[in-house]
Amino acid sequence: MLPNLVTIADLHTLIPEIFVCSAAFGLLMVDLFLAPQRRGLTHFLALLILVAATVLTVRDMATVQTFAFSNFFVRDVASDVLKVAMYAVTAFVFVYAKPFLQDRDLFKGEFYVLVLFALLGMMLMVSAGGLVTLYLGLELLALSSYGLVGMDRDNRTASEAAMKYFILGSMASGLLLYGMSMIYGATGSLQLDEIYAASATAGSDTLLAMGVVFMLVGIAFKFGAAPFHMWVPDVYQGAPTAITAFIGSVPKLAYFGMAYRLLESGVGPLDVEWREMLAWLAAASLVVGNVFALAQTNFKRLLAYSTISHVGFLFMGLANASPMGYSAAMFYAMSYAVMGAAAFAAIMLLSRRGFDAERIADFRGLWKTNPLHALLVLFIMASLAGVPPFLGFWAKLVVIGAALDAGMTWLAILSVVCAVIGAFYYLRLIRAMFFEEPEGDGAQVHPDSHLRAAFAINAVALLVLGLFAQPLLHWCQAAFPV
């Protein structure tokens, strides 16, 4: 008689994932029979799916670790917090994307379905209890992202970006998988808890150490950390801005969850080796991201290099390899997801049919034509630069504190220097908005009321969450109890 591999308790633990998967398939079928002029229903249903997923996750919010499917799936406070953050940022992206896609005749159900499948992959990544589950979620996210980037098939730039993303993303997945195979060969297990136990007694196992190196390279590739960042600027610039807003924000939460599961839950006893590698990756990302951003005139490429520098800050928290460091890195990942979505929304706010506000020069004179939205963009730039009391300031502060706690004073000093450099290229946009004369009729804000309202909420949230950052930080700290 075969053992009972699936129980009701297992399925109950996966209720949010099962719902999102079923809903994505259901939405695909509904959209198939909708006339183009009724596609707004797809948009509404996609938002409703995110609300329902949030309710299902919060209703049974984990207080202790719960395992399912022979420990290959784990639900805990960290995974639930990350999932709720993913739902929220994805909802903002949906609202931002609708008018942008409509203006470019790209408003199709495939966008929402692919994003929901990508979301499902991310949910599996942050709840992975084994290497198979994690890789399954990663590939579901990756394949959906490749399709999203290449959605505008008639655009040569977007097609080129999709091809680069596919080739380099496949390379990253291969390196990660190769590292996982080495770890499996050294430990004889695919479950993270068993890998952890085997790592604690492995000693100086060369195969295991090589597996960790390859795995770390794969993680750095997926994050877009230097020197594995070559795909980030081209993909961010080439993809439609609505797609860039998604892939540039929400997946950072999933990649943090992946890094935590692999490095801490899997090979945590080998932290002496991978902590130093993470620190040097953080340093390289801080320098490369901030220095190269100085030369950019395209705002999307500037934000791409800015993302690389922010990954450096996030890695500072991970390099601490303690509950303090992990909570700081999670707080930074959540903060950047909110800031990143708002930054790309600023581009969509000034874009319209036949025009994409991708250059810094396109923001000239926004203060004269629309003072309110100029002030909101100022909030976003100030938060990205780490100006108090905005959310970005507290995010940088906690990861710098984590680096100091880990004895990495040199990295903390470097991060402060790079933050000052970073403030300069954010100030370039602020100068264009407030102190430069507009070109032609000046920057014009998109008339869509939902886009403007969501943008205002997102931008003001950066100030409000900065003024009241403690509840969010305590939420992150509760995910990693000492």
* HEC sequence for the chain: CCCCCCCHHHHHHCHHHHHHHHHHHHHHHHHHCCCHHHCHHHHHHHHHHHHHHHHHHHHCCCCCCEEECCCCEEECHHHHHHHHHHHHHHHHHHHHHHHHHHHCCCCCHHHHHHHHHHHHHHHHHHCECEHHHHHHHHHHHHHHHHHHHCCCCCCHHHHHHHHHHHHHHHHHHHHHHHHHHHHHHHHCCCEHHHHHHHHHHHCCCHHHHHHHHHHHHHHHHHHCCCCCCCHHHHHHHHCCHHHHHHHCCHHHHHHHHHHHHHHHHHCHHHHHHHHHHHHHHHHHHHHHHHHHHCCCCEHHHHHHHHHHHHHHHHHHHHCCCCHHHHHHHHHHHHHHHHHHHHHHHHHHHHCECCECCCEHHHHCCHHHHCHHHHHHHHHHHHHHHCCCCCHHHHHHHHHHHHHHHCCCHHHHHHHHHHHHHHHHHHHHHHHHHHHCCCCCCCCCCCCCHHHHHHHHHHHHHHHHHHHCCHHHHHHHHHCCCC
| pTM for this predicted structure | 0.96
CA dist 272 and 274 (Å) reads 6
pLDDT in tens, 419-458: 999 999 999 999 999 998 887 776 789 999 999 999 999 9
pLDDT, position 3? 46
Give me the mean pLDDT over the 362-375 stretch: 93
pLDDT, position 36? 83
pLDDT, position 4? 54
pLDDT, position 444? 86
pLDDT, position 265? 92
pLDDT, position 1? 35
pLDDT, position 5? 67
pLDDT at 89 over 80: yes
Give me the mean pLDDT over the 200-210 stretch: 85
pLDDT in tens, 220-272: 999 999 999 999 999 999 999 999 999 999 999 999 999 999 999 999 999 98
Give me the mean pLDDT over the 340-359 stretch: 92
pLDDT at 283 over 60: yes
Q: What percent of the chain has pLDDT over 90?
A: 86
Give me the mean pLDDT over the 27-50 stretch: 93
Predicted confidence band of residue 162 (pLDDT cuts 50, 70, 90): very high
pLDDT, position 160? 93
pLDDT at 122 over 60: yes
pLDDT at 297 over 80: yes
Give me the mean pLDDT over the 65-89 stretch: 93
Instruction: Supply φ then ψ for residue 423, to 5 degrees.
Output: -60, -30
Give me the mean pLDDT over the 49-70 stretch: 91
pLDDT, position 133? 95
Q: What percent of the chain has pLDDT over 70?
A: 98
pLDDT at 82 over 60: yes
Q: Which two tokens stand for residue 306?
A: 């800015």
Give me the mean pLDDT over the 264-281 stretch: 93
Average pLDDT, the chain: 93
pLDDT in tens, 306-333: 999 999 999 999 999 999 999 999 999 9
